[in-house]
Chains A and B, each alone.
Chain A
Amino acid sequence: MKTREITVTVNGRKRTVTVEVRRTLADFLREDLGLTATHLGCEHGVCGACTVVVDGHTERSCTQLAVQADGREITTVEGLAGPDGELHPVQQALRDNHSFQCGFCTPGFVMSIYGMCEEKKAGRSVPCSRAAIREELSGNICRCTGYQSIVDGAEAALAGAGSDTGKDA
């Protein structure tokens, strides 16, 4: 079993851990760090349930290895809510819009929408029409909702995130 020591910052906490080199980032987060909010829906990079933010970009954690995350900063759903359990504005917007049902795909959508909101807050162009939100979320699969309520939630989250400079036509 070949292992390697890596240092990652997960949800603001720096950790140095020895991992098997073939371990996926998703398994590392879920099993080694006990951060089970990040879900595995397909393990081949299609469904998006395992989406996390790595160095400011939304990425799949099932199709990369933990060792690739060495030296990087990762945010998972566990890192969003406030210390007193207060929901992050993205989570609150999704709750207000009854966005989800069974909740399995939810962490992936939350991270994708969080990623879009962070982009917008950083002043980058983020498309905000419903059709554009649907395109942006096409990398996340939900079997329960038919997406309409998720688009409602994403629209509300984006409206509340920073300036309007990124609004498309």
Chain B
Amino acid sequence: MAGGSAISGLVGARVHRKEDRTILTGTGRYIDDVQERGMLHCHFLRSTVAHGRITSIDVSAAREVEGVVRVFTGADMSAITEDLSFAQPIPGLNSPSYPAIARDVVRFVGEPVALVVAESRYIAEDAAALIEIEYDLLEPVMSTAAGLAEGATQLFDDVPGNVVHTDEQLFGDIEAAFAQADHVVTQSLDQHRWACNPMETRGGVATYETGSGQLTYEASTQTTHTLRFLLAGWIRHPIHQFRVTANNIGGGFGLKFSAYREDVAVCAAAKAIGGTVKWVEDRNEHLVAAGAAREEQLTLEAAVKADGTLLGLRVTMKLDAGAYPINPPATVYAGLVRTTLPGPYKLPAYQFRHHIVATNKASYISLRGPWAVETLVRERLMDKIAHTCGISPVEVRNRNLITLDDQPTKMITNVTLENVTAAETFQKLVEMVDLDAVRREQEAARAEGRLLGFGVGTFIEPAPGTQEFWAAVGFPFGSEPCRIRIEIDGKVTAFTPQTPHGQSHETTLSQLIADELGVGFDDIRIVYGDTDATPFSMLGTGGSRAATMASGAVVYGSRELRKRLLEIASHILEASVDDLDIADGVVSVKGAPGASVPIAQIAMGCWLAPEQMPPGTNTEMEFVANYDGEGGGFSQASHACWIEVDQQTGKIEIKRFLVVEDCGKMINPAVVEGQVIGGIAMGVGGMLLEHSAYADDGQYLAATFMDYLMPSAPELPEIEIEHLEFESDKVVGSRGVGEGGTVLAPAALLNAIDDALAQVGRERVTETPVTPTRMLELLGVIEKE
């Protein structure tokens, strides 16, 4: 079927989204919209200290409040649940298990210490305020350096030295690389914590039916099946009696990939009480307790030739894991950074060391491209190499990039690159930018006392990546199933394990099915978010897999059903299968439109009287396809960013932002552009505004949206996008774009900031976020705190 992708009609068009009528009229069902008969509400009391031993907890006053149904302490909850464990057979991984509600020790501000279930959220919060709890304070560990220090307080008995995992991997002859180097270029970056902050927080509604023993958990999750199998064990509930569902989901960005201790407690509480319990965290809880991402410190040492050619790279990374592990294990993040860091560049030798360190903070979580720091540090290093060697940022990349002509080739991390067009996107970007004009404009601006900066970057995105890539990372690649059914009236229902939360899968998968099967776009329904109905996948929606994997599953599934329809129709119409076509739900003989049979007629026969259908034909109108990804692949893009720095206020304004991206065949360009622009916005917010900050004593400092600054419309530029659509010989030539914007934009932006700083003789950025205050420090206008 190579090269046989049926690209006609809807695929490739800016088709209106199926999802929009629901969301624009407010008729969706987000988790807080769920209202069940007799539903109870709950509220978690959370630790006010970063590290301490619980010496006493008194919930008696809370239990007395009218309307309170049950109060669970850590001990109460532990009596009915197993501790959460994300341990996996990974050598050297220290993954402590922990209770749903803290039993003895609290390890971050915001850790659940009690759960109040009541008739209303108001009452639950009132009652929680009456709980008295005392702690013996322990020294909090608030940085990787503090955690690794000699004699540091240990967070867990089974995490010696607070080291969750450490490893060193060598690729090629690193000593020889440095021995041959004309220059050794070094760079460090201390990235701050920032967070997913979907507009809908975490939450779930658990219903236990005492008669049947069935438990249903409707959740705001990115992965219903994984949530189900993880929770079933922890709440000691037989999995065949457990259903997890999801309806509208108000964003996830990686956060909602894991199962959380609150999910465990809510399900266990519903089961213990015998009814429905709703939990929806408020924004304050979300900011404090849901976890945050990106807190990594990296140092890089590059061996380069005088002409800027890379010879070798030594990297060390410290990752601040927070206190409690979640899914996936932290080794996956380290593996992703290590494997992806060489990017689309020729690199003969490479050494990567990491330390993952436990600290007294909320969990380190996935955030839209959780490996992103690799692109950030690599692209900034390329600029520093350019500066050291006296060549332009364009030239240094051109001298090191792997072009299509070089492929197939292997990354130094043993990942085959094939059909990777990062170099081609960069070439196109450079054609669209007059670098000399940029420099002249900067000079003219400086003469007027204004300061402009310009930065570029390029990268590859494992969207979905390849088998080899994920093997190197240490995470399963997994095939993707889809069950497709032609209904009795000829309309189509497709059941996907994806749990879309803004990625428009109802639209894009319907476009593909419509083109493949020849049925109307409006005659297709995509079912997701129900473990009773959808085929199993561990992954749900995440990792930018859907464009390739979910698409492949519906394409292969549609083709199988199309084959069955055509075989049956060829008997009915007495024509060869090759002479048949399907359009608008009707099979007809090419060139003889009068000779036709509606899909509805075939389907009705197959469902109601299969024995009367033509002998030897397959009358099953339902098929589960499994798509293996055809080896997978990468997306790629290059970004350019123009900024102006206000030297009085330190404010950074993005004047222009240009993207050249290649995600292969676009199913719906409007969806692609939405992902790219939204991703860039998140990357910009992360670099300039957002900070999940802690004080030295472990108190959390960004617990409202007045402190945690989300980018709003005026802070963001109009983003220009140029698409390249590399045509591969795969059946499914579409690649994901969910994360790329967030991965690459920080690199182009920080390169632009460094460029501005260099013009006034100042040092490069080594710590993020680059807030106005930090910018004034970097400019030397104010002293560093």
User: Which residues of chain A have a CB within 8 Å of any CB of chain B?
Assistant: 20, 22-23, 30-31, 34, 36-44, 46-47, 49, 76-78, 80-81, 85, 87, 91, 94-96, 98, 100-107, 110, 130-131, 133-135, 137-151
Query: Which residue on A lies nearest to B685, using beta carbons?
Result: A143
**Contact status A78-B26, CB under 8 Å:** yes
B592 within 8 A of A: no
**Contact status B24-A102, CB under 8 Å:** no
For the complex formed, measure the closest distance between the CB of B262 and the CB atoms of chain A, giving whole angstroms.
Answer: 18
Q: How far is the CA of A145 from the CA of B197 in the complex (A)?
A: 13
Q: How far is the CA of A137 from the CA of B715 in the complex (A)?
A: 11
Q: Mark out the residues of chain B between 22 and 69 whose CB falls within 8 Å of any chain A CB in the assembled complex.
A: 22-28, 30, 32-33, 35
Q: How far is the CA of A144 from the CA of B682 in the complex (A)?
A: 8
**Contact status B710-A147, CB under 8 Å:** no
Beyond A30-B32, A100-B502, 6 extra complex contacts between A and B, CB < 8 Å: A34-B35, A36-B32, A44-B705, A106-B23, A135-B713, A138-B714
**Contact status B250-A39, CB under 8 Å:** yes
**Contact status A95-B250, CB under 8 Å:** no
**Contact status A105-B502, CB under 8 Å:** no
Q: How far is the CA of A36 from the CA of B283 in the complex (A)?
A: 18
Query: Which residue on A lies nearest to B19, using beta carbons?
Result: A103
**Contact status B199-A91, CB under 8 Å:** no
Q: How far is the CA of A47 from the CA of B509 in the complex (A)?
A: 31
**Contact status B26-A36, CB under 8 Å:** yes
Q: How far is the CA of A148 from the CA of B659 in the complex (A)?
A: 14
**Contact status B17-A95, CB under 8 Å:** yes
Q: How far is the CA of A137 from the CA of B714 in the complex (A)?
A: 8
Q: Chain B contacts of A94 at CB under 8 A?
A: 20, 24
- The listed residue with most A CB atoms (<10 A of its CB), out of B25, B248, B284, B680, is B25
**Contact status B704-A42, CB under 8 Å:** yes
For the complex formed, measure the closest distance between the CB of B156 and the CB atoms of chain A, giving whole angstroms.
Answer: 33
Q: Chain B contacts of A30 at CB under 8 A?
A: 32-33
**Contact status B671-A98, CB under 8 Å:** yes
For the complex formed, measure the closest distance between the CB of B758 and the CB atoms of chain A, giving whole angstroms.
Answer: 28
- The listed residue with most A CB atoms (<10 A of its CB), out of B23, B502, B706, B712, is B23
Given A130-B718, A143-B197, A149-B674, also A103-B28 (CB < 8 A): yes
17 inter-chain pairs at a CB distance below 8 angstroms, sorted by A residue, are A36-B33, A37-B26, A39-B32, A39-B250, A42-B283, A44-B704, A44-B705, A78-B26, A95-B24, A96-B16, A98-B16, A98-B670, A98-B673, A102-B199, A103-B22, A144-B678, A148-B677
**Contact status B24-A101, CB under 8 Å:** no
Query: Which residue on B lies nearest to A87, using beta carbons?
Result: B24
Q: Mark out the residues of chain B between 643 and 689 whose CB falls within 8 Å of any chain A CB in the assembled complex.
A: 670-671, 673-674, 677-682
**Contact status A39-B23, CB under 8 Å:** no
- Determine chain A's interface SS by DSSP, over half rule: loop
Q: Mark out the residues of chain B between 185 and 239 whose CB falls within 8 Å of any chain A CB in the assembled complex.
A: 197-200
Given A37-B27, A146-B680, also A49-B16 (CB < 8 A): no
Given A47-B705, A134-B713, also A101-B674 (CB < 8 A): yes
**Contact status B502-A146, CB under 8 Å:** no
**Contact status B677-A146, CB under 8 Å:** yes
User: Which residues of chain B have a CB within 8 Å of any CB of chain A?
Assistant: 14, 16-17, 19-28, 30, 32-33, 35, 122, 197-200, 248-251, 253, 282-284, 501-504, 670-671, 673-674, 677-682, 704-706, 710, 712-714, 716, 718-719, 741
A-B interface, 3 closest residue pairs, ranked by CB to CB distance from nearest: A37-B26, A103-B23, A104-B250
**Contact status A143-B706, CB under 8 Å:** no
Q: Chain A contacts of B197 at CB under 8 A?
A: 143
**Contact status B250-A103, CB under 8 Å:** yes
Given A43-B282, A100-B20, also A138-B705 (CB < 8 A): no
**Contact status B678-A146, CB under 8 Å:** yes
Given A101-B502, A130-B718, A147-B713, also A47-B20 (CB < 8 A): no
Q: How far is the CA of A40 from the CA of B284 in the complex (A)?
A: 12
Q: Chain B contacts of A31 at CB under 8 A?
A: 35
**Contact status B502-A144, CB under 8 Å:** yes
Q: Chain B contacts of A46 at CB under 8 A?
A: 704-706
- The listed residue with most B CB atoms (<10 A of its CB), out of A85, A96, A131, A148, is A148
For the complex formed, measure the closest distance between the CB of B137 and the CB atoms of chain A, giving whole angstroms.
Answer: 29
- Determine chain B's interface SS by DSSP, over half rule: loop
For the complex formed, measure the closest distance between the CB of A136 and the CB atoms of chain B, giving whole angstroms.
Answer: 8
CB < 8 Å: which of B16, B25, B250 contacts A77? B25
Given A98-B671, A144-B502, A148-B719, also A41-B200 (CB < 8 A): yes
Q: How far is the CA of A150 from the CA of B680 in the complex (A)?
A: 15
**Contact status B502-A141, CB under 8 Å:** no
- The listed residue with most B CB atoms (<10 A of its CB), out of A30, A40, A102, is A102
CB < 8 Å: which of A22, A23, A106 contacts B24? A106
CB < 8 Å: which of A36, A43, A95, A101 contacts B503? A101
CB < 8 Å: which of B19, B20, B32, B704 contacts A40? B32
Q: Chain B contacts of A100 at CB under 8 A?
A: 20, 23-24, 502
Q: Chain B contacts of A91 at CB under 8 A?
A: 24-25
**Contact status B199-A37, CB under 8 Å:** no
For the complex formed, measure the closest distance between the CB of A61 and the CB atoms of chain B, giving whole angstroms.
Answer: 13
Q: Chain A contacts of B718 at CB under 8 A?
A: 130, 148
- The listed residue with most B CB atoms (<10 A of its CB), out of A78, A137, A144, is A144
**Contact status B710-A143, CB under 8 Å:** yes
- The listed residue with most A CB atoms (<10 A of its CB), out of B20, B35, B253, B706, is B20
Q: How far is the CA of A41 from the CA of B249 in the complex (A)?
A: 13
Q: How far is the CA of A96 from the CA of B248 in the complex (A)?
A: 21
For the complex formed, measure the closest distance between the CB of B685 and the CB atoms of chain A, giving whole angstroms.
Answer: 9
Q: How far is the CA of A144 from the CA of B33 in the complex (A)?
A: 20
Q: Chain A contacts of B674 at CB under 8 A?
A: 98, 101, 144-145, 149
Q: How far is the CA of A108 from the CA of B777 in the complex (A)?
A: 38
Q: How far is the CA of A36 from the CA of B569 in the complex (A)?
A: 48
For the complex formed, measure the closest distance between the CB of A20 and the CB atoms of chain B, giving whole angstroms.
Answer: 8
**Contact status A150-B713, CB under 8 Å:** yes
**Contact status B713-A44, CB under 8 Å:** no
Q: How far is the CA of A22 from the CA of B126 in the complex (A)?
A: 12
For the complex formed, measure the closest distance between the CB of A87 and the CB atoms of chain B, giving whole angstroms.
Answer: 6
Q: How far is the CA of A107 from the CA of B24 in the complex (A)?
A: 7
Q: How far is the CA of A110 from the CA of B741 in the complex (A)?
A: 26
Q: How far is the CA of A82 from the CA of B600 in the complex (A)?
A: 33
**Contact status A101-B504, CB under 8 Å:** yes
CB < 8 Å: which of B282, B681, B705 contacts A146? B681
For the complex formed, measure the closest distance between the CB of A89 and the CB atoms of chain B, giving whole angstroms.
Answer: 12
**Contact status A103-B713, CB under 8 Å:** no
Query: Which residue on B lies nearest to A141, using beta carbons?
Result: B710
**Contact status B25-A147, CB under 8 Å:** no
**Contact status A38-B199, CB under 8 Å:** no
Q: How far is the CA of A141 from the CA of B253 in the complex (A)?
A: 16
**Contact status A95-B20, CB under 8 Å:** yes
Q: How far is the CA of A91 from the CA of B33 in the complex (A)?
A: 21
Q: How far is the CA of A103 from the CA of B20 in the complex (A)?
A: 8
Q: How far is the CA of A138 from the CA of B714 in the complex (A)?
A: 6
For the complex formed, measure the closest distance between the CB of B762 and the CB atoms of chain A, giving whole angstroms.
Answer: 30
For the complex formed, measure the closest distance between the CB of B281 and the CB atoms of chain A, giving whole angstroms.
Answer: 11
